[in-house]
């Protein structure tokens, strides 16, 4: 049994009787140098955490398995702390946690903010771009800074994003005699540096003209840097609804283009993860830039072509195939790797990709939808409808017990060429009625029901 004791900047004096007893009973005290300095009276063996910590942690714990070990952690060990790591490594039955007040609780107490109404972003060992996804008008953020330069960096980021009017409060050395406070607006942040131990309170306020980005899938196309290979807004929203992201799930975005599907998947919940597979290196770099700009820098980008690039990736809960459905082996590999209960969605624009999807639909079933989007645009001095290329969306759920490699020979013979991502283009290509190529007899569909119009007053777009 390892005991993890949370300790604040007030040191030994701030520990509860049970926490003091745990430290005094230990033979070995492990922690960061700052935490160890807070208990000068300890007479046993002191061990400072090695760096990097995670690779060395299992061996370190094993080396002292026969002795009474106490680990010191800052504040609440289960709040972005080593307590969570130890529980994950050893199991909850082998770890006893005695928490102190967290930096979040102390910061909210100083600011008068209800804890349940703030969003927490940690920059400790994480990219600054993680703040981007949390910024929206009226939101209150608590940002756990990595060092004394963190507040100035956050102020610069907010200003660049159009949130320079946001109020910032930097609380340093919380709970100690040296506790301090700095206030200001992001656009006019006057402090080049702050004490190393700080948290940042942000009251988000948008500058005039700033257009907030929603977390609901279907961001404007212009939110992404792209070269035309982009799943367009309306199709993206429908595709993500079929992918149905849930907290903690992993997505493969195969033939990722600009990475829009993977990025919007991750924006639905902080615990959602994604792997974007893209064959062109320039697009891979573009995906990484989009991920940072839109607040999901943890997106993993694999530079390579499917199916070879899929080998060794963790099993996904959902797969999106936006390009490459005609490449032999791609859909087979995705279906085989997909977890039971997982969702596979593939989009098709060309007749060849539609034929491939039709074959898969005939073997695995699922759902087929054809989307035909028209946007209003100038026609001389008038306004008319301009049609995008129709997009066929195939979605299927892998039921429990489904054999992963049950379907063989479903690829399209011949040489595969680069296909448009399932986005529709601005070219006028009227949707044809009648059954989908390759659909089972009697299960075709047509567009005879007529168009459906979606009006967006926010951007003046009629689709």
Rounded to whole angstroms, the Cα distance separating 351 from 436 reads 10
- Spell out the residues 6+ positions from residue 19 whose beta carbon is closer than 8 angstroms to its own: 5, 6, 7, 98, 100
Residue 458 has a CB neighbour count (10 Å cut-off) of: 9
Write down the pLDDT at residue 270.
93
Mean pLDDT of the chain: 87
Question: Which range has highest mean pLDDT (69-73, 434-438, 445-449)?
Answer: 69-73
Taking only the tens place, the pLDDT of each residue in 213-225 is 999 999 999 999 9
Tokens at residue 320, please?
A: 């999106």
* Tokens (6 digits) for 33: 């140098």
- CA angle at residue 307 from 301 to 312, to 5 degrees? 60
- Mean pLDDT for the stretch of residues 326-335: 95
Asked if residue 277 lies in contact with residue 251, where contact means CB atoms within 8 angstroms, the answer is: no
Strand order in the sheet with 119-122: 119-122, 140-144, 198-203, 167-172, 180-185
Average pLDDT over residues 371-382: 93
Which residues, in sequence order, are bridge partners of residue 31?
48
Average pLDDT of the residues in 30-54: 91
- Where does the pLDDT of residue 111 fall: very low under 50, low under 70, confident under 90, or very high at 90 and above? very high
Q: What percentage of the chain has pLDDT greater than the value 70? A: 86
Distance of CA 120 to the CA centre of its chain: 15
Task: Say if residue 242's pLDDT is above 60.
Answer: yes
Q: What is the mean pLDDT of residues 55-83?
A: 92
pTM of the model as a whole: 0.81
Domains of the chain are 2-101 (3.40.1010.10), 104-203 (3.30.950.10), 221-365+394-423 (3.40.50.150)
Q: Smallest Cα–Cα separation from 73: which of 122, 110, 38, 41?
A: 38
Closest CA to 85 of 52, 120, 46, 54: 54
Q: Which pLDDT score, from 0 to 100, does residue 437 have?
A: 35
The per-residue pLDDT for 454 is 41
In terms of average pLDDT, the best of 5-14, 338-347, 397-406 is 338-347
46 has a pLDDT exceeding 80: yes
Q: Report residue 365's pLDDT band, with 50, 70 and 90 as the boundaries.
A: very high
Residue 412 reports pLDDT greater than 60: no
């Amino acid at each position: 049994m390892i005991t993890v004791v949370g300790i604040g900047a007030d040191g030994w004096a701030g520990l509860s009787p049970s926490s003091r007893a745990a430290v005094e009973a230990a033979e070995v005290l492990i922690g960061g140098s700052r935490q160890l300095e807070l208990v000068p009276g300890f007479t046993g063996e002191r061990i400072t955490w090695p760096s990097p910590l995670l690779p060395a942690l299992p061996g370190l714990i094993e080396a002292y398995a026969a002795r009474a070990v106490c680990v010191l952690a800052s504040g609440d060990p289960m709040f972005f702390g080593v307590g969570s790591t130890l529980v994950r490594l050893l199991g909850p039955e082998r770890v006893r946690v005695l928490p102190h007040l967290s930096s979040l609780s102390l910061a909210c107490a100083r600011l008068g903010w209800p804890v349940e109404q703030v969003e927490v972003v940690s920059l400790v060992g994480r990219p600054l771009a993680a703040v981007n996804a949390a910024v929206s008008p009226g939101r209150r953020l608590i940002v756990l800074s990595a060092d004394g330069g963190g507040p100035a960096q956050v102020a610069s980021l907010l200003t660049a994003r159009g949130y320079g009017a946001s109020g910032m409060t930097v609380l340093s050395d919380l709970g100690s005699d040296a506790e301090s406070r700095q206030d200001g607006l992001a656009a006019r942040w006057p402090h080049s540096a702050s004490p190393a131990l700080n948290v940042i309170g942000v009251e988000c306020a948008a500058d005039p003209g700033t257009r907030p980005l929603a977390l609901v899938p279907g961001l404007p196309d212009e939110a992404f840097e792209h070269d035309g290979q982009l799943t367009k807004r309306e199709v993206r929203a429908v595709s993500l609804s079929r992918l149905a992201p849930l907290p903690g799930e992993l997505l493969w975005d195969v033939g990722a283009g600009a990475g829009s599907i993977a990025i919007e998947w991750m924006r639905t919940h902080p615990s959602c993860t994604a792997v974007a597979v893209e064959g062109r290196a320039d697009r891979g770099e573009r995906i990484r830039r989009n991920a940072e700009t839109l607040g999901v820098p943890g997106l993993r980008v694999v530079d390579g072509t499917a199916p070879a690039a899929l080998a060794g990736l963790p099993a996904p809960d959902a797969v999106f195939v936006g390009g490459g459905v005609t490449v032999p082996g791609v859909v087979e590999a995705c279906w085989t790797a997909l977890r039971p209960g997982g969702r596979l969605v593939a989009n098709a624009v060309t007749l060849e990709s539609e034929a491939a999807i039709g074959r898969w639909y005939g073997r695995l079933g699922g759902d087929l939808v054809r989307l035909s989007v028209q946007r209003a645009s100038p026609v001389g001095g008038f306004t008319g409808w301009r049609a995008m290329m129709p997009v066929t969306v195939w979605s299927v759920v892998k039921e429990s017990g489904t054999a992963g490699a049950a379907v063989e020979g479903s690829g399209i013979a011949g040489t595969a060429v680069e296909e448009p991502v399932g986005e529709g283009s601005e070219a006028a290509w009227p949707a044809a009625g009648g059954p989908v190529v390759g659909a089972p007899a009697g299960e075709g569909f047509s567009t005879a029901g007529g168009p459906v119009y979606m009006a967006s007053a926010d951007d003046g777009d009629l689709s």
